[in-house]
């Protein structure tokens, strides 16, 4: 939003904390007939050791097999009978359980998620079946070249670390889980001080607090053994695998600031200028001018203590080396000079994405939970817009130098043999 049309002052949703440490946030959106509730645990795959790799995702699957005396079918039928939808997602640092519903569906949504988190059945028969399901999910990811090349790049960036291991785990690590060991892991994953109950849309704060106390109060969430993770280290490296594919797939990574770093917004803008859209440098240079790739884009991924700048591209094997050089060259060029027009475009795109997301109750609930888990407070749209606008070209140049000068790039290439050298070509070109 331009300076001529300033945002109104932020009026932030109310945040409350239950006696046992569960955080509750209510973001009412007048005029809506729907709501979303998201219960987010600040725990995920990053908290696993190698022996438990994939257990957080397995736990997410298992709770849906039955809870508090209800079967999997009974759980979903109860939610869908009221027009609702239920889902869940596991990441490296967070696990979220979400219900979208019509107005009036908050009671059912919260009680259902509470059952999933605190009263899952965890039967041996269900566990055996779900291990087979996840084994197929792992196989499906291995068969998808885009999934596989991202997994390879993550492992190259963070070798022998939780952030470098797949969220899905391995067939061997999943196979080692028992109902008893999963019950212990559940207690570790979902302690009250790591939970945020966030609701947005057609919700009333008083009702939310009453229901949250009922479903997530001291009687529901007892603290389990503490969990921690080792500090991340972006080591970098190159990995390439030959596969019978028509196209080569490549991911190029650089170490970047963490979510709480002052350069966070500079990183988001750097990625936007580099490859965030059709007007980005990489799209124009690699696709429009040279015809090297049909798909190419850049992105920023941040964690609590580390981050990465990434570029994904799909190209013909014969073009992979040149494409790697172009990506490295555009990163280095952006670190030297940022044009005012492209910085202005990137700021407009980033703010547009932020404001469009606020039109969705589920997105607002998820964003609120994420902010509370990362920063311990909410950041309103005016504050976010101001912090985006404050980023100067010099900040992006300084950030670019910071990322490139570390000399720890990571790259992965999957596809025909002729494309495989592109991983090392990127690392050498960046260091030149």
| Residue ranges covered by each domain of the chain | 14-216, 237-431
- Token digits for 416? 């025909």
CB 24 within 8 A of CB 197: yes
pLDDT at 226: 72
pLDDT at 225: 66
How many CB atoms are located within 10 Å of the residue 235 CB? 15
pLDDT at 2: 37
Q: Using CA atoms, how far apart are residues 249 and 157, in angstroms rounded to an integer?
A: 17
CATH code of 14-216, in short, is 3.30.830.10
Could you give the 3-state DSSP secondary structure of residue 75? helix
Burial class (CB in 10 A: 0-12, 13-18, 19+), 57: buried
How many CB atoms are located within 10 Å of the residue 241 CB? 15
Q: Using CA atoms, how far apart are residues 118 and 347, in angstroms rounded to an integer?
A: 42
Per-residue pLDDT tens, the chain, 432 aa: give them: 334 345 556 789 989 999 999 999 999 999 999 999 999 999 999 999 999 999 999 999 999 999 999 999 999 999 999 999 999 999 999 999 999 999 999 999 999 999 999 999 999 999 999 999 999 999 999 999 999 999 999 999 999 999 999 999 999 999 999 999 999 999 999 999 999 999 999 999 999 999 999 999 975 555 566 788 999 999 999 999 999 999 999 999 999 999 999 999 999 999 999 999 999 999 999 999 999 999 999 999 999 999 999 999 999 999 999 999 999 999 999 999 999 999 999 999 999 998 998 899 999 999 999 999 999 999 999 999 999 999 999 999 999 999 999 999 999 999 999 999 999 999 999 987
Q: Are 14-216 and 237-431 in the same CATH fold?
A: yes
CB 266 within 8 A of CB 321: no
> Domain 237-431 classified CATH 3.50.50.60?
no
pLDDT at 8: 58
pLDDT at 218: 75
Q: What are phi and psi of 28, to 5 degrees?
A: -70, 140
Distances (CA, A) of 396 to 60, 251, 272, 407: 39, 22, 11, 18
Q: Using CA atoms, how far apart are residues 334 and 340, in angstroms rounded to an integer?
A: 12
pLDDT at 11: 86
pLDDT at 4: 39
- Token digits for 192? 């009250």
- Token digits for 344? 């202005």
For the chain, the C-alpha Rg in angstroms (whole number) is 23
């Amino acid at each position: 939003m331009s300076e001529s049309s300033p945002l109104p002052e932020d009026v932030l949703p109310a945040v409350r904390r239950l006696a046992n440490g569960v955080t509750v946030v209510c973001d009412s959106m007048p005029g809506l007939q729907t709501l979303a509730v998201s219960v987010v645990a600040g725990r995920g795959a990053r908290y696993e050791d190698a022996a438990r790799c994939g257990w957080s995702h397995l736990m997410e699957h298992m709770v849906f097999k039955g809870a508090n005396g209800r079967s999997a079918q009974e759980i979903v039928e109860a939610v869908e009978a009221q027009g609702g939808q239920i889902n869940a997602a596991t990441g490296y640092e967070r696990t979220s359980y979400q219900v979208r519903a019509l107005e009036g569906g908050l009671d059912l949504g919260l009680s259902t998620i509470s059952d999933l988190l605190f009263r899952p059945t965890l039967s041996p028969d269900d566990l055996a079946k779900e291990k087979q399901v996840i084994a197929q999910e792992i196989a499906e990811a291995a068969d998808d070249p885009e999934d596989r090349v991202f997994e390879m790049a993550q492992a190259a960036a963070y070798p022998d670390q939780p952030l470098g291991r797949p969220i899905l785990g391995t067939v061997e690590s999943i196979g080692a889980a028992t109902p008893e060991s999963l019950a212990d892991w559940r207690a570790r994953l979902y302690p009250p001080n790591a939970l945020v109950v966030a609701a947005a849309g057609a919700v009333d704060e008083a009702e939310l607090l009453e229901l949250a106390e009922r479903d997530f109060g001291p009687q529901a969430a007892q603290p389990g053994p503490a969990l921690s993770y080792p500090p991340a280290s972006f080591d970098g490296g190159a990995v390439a695998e030959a596969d019978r594919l028509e196209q080569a797939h490549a991911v190029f990574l650089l170490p970047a600031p963490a979510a709480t770093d002052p350069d966070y917004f500079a990183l988001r803008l750097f990625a936007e200028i580099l490859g965030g859209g059709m007007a980005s440098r990489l799209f124009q240079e690699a696709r429009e001018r040279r015809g090297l790739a049909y798909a190419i884009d850049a992105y920023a991924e941040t964690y609590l203590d580390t981050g990465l700048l990434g570029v994904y591209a799909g190209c013909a094997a014969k073009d992979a080396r040149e494409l790697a050089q172009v990506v490295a060259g555009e990163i280095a060029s952006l670190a030297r000079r940022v044009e005012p027009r492209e910085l202005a475009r990137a700021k407009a795109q980033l703010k547009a994405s932020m404001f469009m997301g606020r039109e969705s109750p589920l997105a607002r609930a998820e964003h609120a939970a994420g902010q509370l888990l990362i920063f311990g407070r909410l950041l309103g749209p005016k504050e976010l817009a101001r912090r985006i606008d404050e980023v100067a070209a010099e900040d992006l140049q300084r950030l670019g130098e910071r990322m490139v000068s570390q000399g720890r790039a990571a790259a992965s290439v999957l596809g025909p043999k002729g494309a495989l050298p592109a991983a090392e070509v990127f690392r050498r070109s960046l260091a030149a």
